[in-house]
Amino acid sequence: MKNVPGRKTDVLDCQWLQYLHTVGLLRGSFRPAQEICAVRSLLRHRDNLVKLASSHVQHIQKSLTQMNLQIHKVISDITGVNGLAIIDAILSGEKDPEKLAELKDRRIKANTSTIVKSLEGDYRSEPIFTLKQSLQSYRNYQIMINECDSEIEKQLKQFESRIDLVIIECSPEKKTKRKPGKNEPNFDLKEHMH
């Protein structure tokens, strides 16, 4: 309708669209099946949970910055095994940068002295409190994301297969050794979609 010349108002557009619909020149909009709507709704909810969890990661980084700890700039993934181990040690009361640096894994490229320098800061109580609550919220959202993944998988298992499985078993499939991303579902979504 935006390409039709002339002055247009909402009322005239509504009347014109109603006329086009009554004479059969417009198709109805696509409405997916109820099963697809349920999965789509769960996937959208999961996406919102991932966004909320990532905002709490930003709160964790802000709390660390307020304490003048720059560990999130040395370790690429603060929510990985090493980052969470260091944060848990800080929350349990450990303030010695050298002891905290011992928690580093061999896969971290930064050397120990760099990590020690990044852990020298001011361990005040108020940023530690906000760090604790942000970490609790992040872990809570991770639990909710896992529950959402299991519900999505349960919904996807209800779909009936529309393909011939004999053809698929005969076709050679490339095996990828790609590690799944952190925010990807914890089940094989590709298999369900196939």
Tens digit of each residue's pLDDT (9 = 90 or more) over 38-82: 999 999 999 999 999 999 999 999 999 999 998 888 888 888 888
Q: Is the pLDDT of residue 167 over 90?
A: no
Grade residue 183 by pLDDT with cuts at 50, 70 and 90.
confident
Q: Is the pLDDT of residue 171 over 70?
A: no
Q: Is the pLDDT of residue 140 over 80?
A: yes
pLDDT of residue 176: 62
Between 40 and 105, whose confidence is greater? 40
* Among the listed residues 69, 111, 58, the one whose alpha carbon sits nearest the alpha carbon of residue 94: 69
Please tell me the total number of residues recorded for the chain in this structure. 194
pLDDT of residue 59: 95
Instruction: Name every residue whose Cβ is closer than 8 Å to that of residue 17 and which is 6 or more positions away in sequence.
Output: 1, 26
pLDDT of residue 56: 96
Q: Is the pLDDT of residue 11 over 60?
A: yes
Grade residue 102 by pLDDT with cuts at 50, 70 and 90.
confident
Instruction: Name every residue whose Cβ is closer than 8 Å to that of residue 125 and which is 6 or more positions away in sequence.
Output: none
pLDDT of residue 178: 66
Q: What is the 3-state secondary structure (H, E, C) of the chain?
A: CCCCCCCCCHHHHHHHHHHHHHCCCCCCCCCCCHHHHHHHHHHHHHHHHHHHHHHHHHHHHHHHHHCCCCHHHHCCCCCCHHHHHHHHHHHCCCCCHHHHHCCCCCCCCCCHHHHHHHCCCCCCHHHHHHHHHHHHHHHHHHHHHHHHHHHHHHHHHCCCCCCCHHHHHHCCCCCCCCCCCCCCCCCCHHHHHC
pLDDT of residue 146: 94
Mean of all residue pLDDT scores within the chain? 84
Percent of the chain with pLDDT over 70: 86
Instruction: Name every residue whose Cβ is closer than 8 Å to that of residue 148 and which is 6 or more positions away in sequence.
Output: 42, 45, 46, 49
Grade residue 2 by pLDDT with cuts at 50, 70 and 90.
low
Q: Is the pLDDT of residue 10 over 90?
A: no
Instruction: Name every residue whose Cβ is closer than 8 Å to that of residue 108 and which is 6 or more positions away in sequence.
Output: 74, 75, 82, 115
pLDDT of residue 62: 94
Report, as an integer, the average pLDDT of 11-39.
86
Residue 71 CB coordination number (10 Å):
25
CA distance 53 to 59: 10
